[in-house]
Amino acid sequence: MKKYTSVDDISNLNEILQAAKEIKLNPLANKQLGKDKTIGLIFFNSSLRTRLSTQKAAQNLGMRCMVMNLNTEGWTLEFEDGVIMNGSASEHIKEAAPVISQYCDIIAIRSFPTLKNKEKDEAETVISSFVKYASVPVISLEGATEHPLQALADALTIEEYKKSDRPKVVLSWAPHPKALPQSVPNSFVKMMKKMDVDFIITHPESYELNPKITEGVKIEYNQEEAFKNADFIYAKNWSNYIDYGKITNQDSNWTVGKKQMNLTRNAKFMHCLPVRRNVIVTDEILDGDSSIVIPEANNRIYSAQVIITKILEEFKK
Q: Which residues bind a copy of itself (CB under 8 A)?
A: 28, 31, 36, 38, 40, 43, 46-49, 51-53, 55-56, 59, 64, 66, 68-70, 72-75, 78, 81-87, 89-92, 94-96, 98-100, 102-104, 177, 273-279, 283, 286-287, 293-294, 297-298, 301
Closest to a copy of itself by CB, 6 vs 260, is 260
Q: Least distance (Å) from a copy of itself to the CB of residue 86?
A: 4
Strand extents, DSSP E, 27-113 = 38-43, 64-69, 77-78, 91-92, 106-110
Q: How far is the CB of 51 from a copy of itself (least distance, A)?
A: 7
Closest distance between a copy of itself and the C-beta of residue 176, in Å? 8
Give 83's contacts (C-beta < 8 A, 6+ positions apart): none
Cis omega (within 30 of 0) for bond into 274: yes
For a copy of itself, the closer of residues 56 and 193 by Cβ is 56
Annotated binding site: 47-50, 75, 110, 142, 147-150, 176, 236, 272-273, 276, 300
The distance of closest approach from Cβ of residue 217 to a copy of itself in the complex, given in angstroms and rounded to an integer, is 28
CA-to-CA distance for 307 and 147, rounded, in angstroms?
13
Nearer to a copy of itself, 102 or 222 (CB): 102
Nearer to a copy of itself, 177 or 211 (CB): 177
Query: What residues form the annotated binding site for carbamoyl phosphate?
Result: 47-50, 75, 110, 147-150, 272-273, 300
3-state secondary structure string, 127-153? HHHHHHHCCCCEEECCCCCCCHHHHHH
CB of 122 to a copy of itself, least distance (A): 25
The closest of 297, 308, 311, 313 to 61, measured between CA atoms, is 308
Neighbours of 286 (CB within 10 A): 18
- CB closer to a copy of itself, 213 vs 233: 233
Binding residues for N(2)-succinyl-L-ornithine are: 142, 176, 236, 276
Closest CA to 240 of 203, 270, 214: 203
CA distance 182 to 121: 10
Nearest to 169 by CA among 147, 145, 189, 149: 189
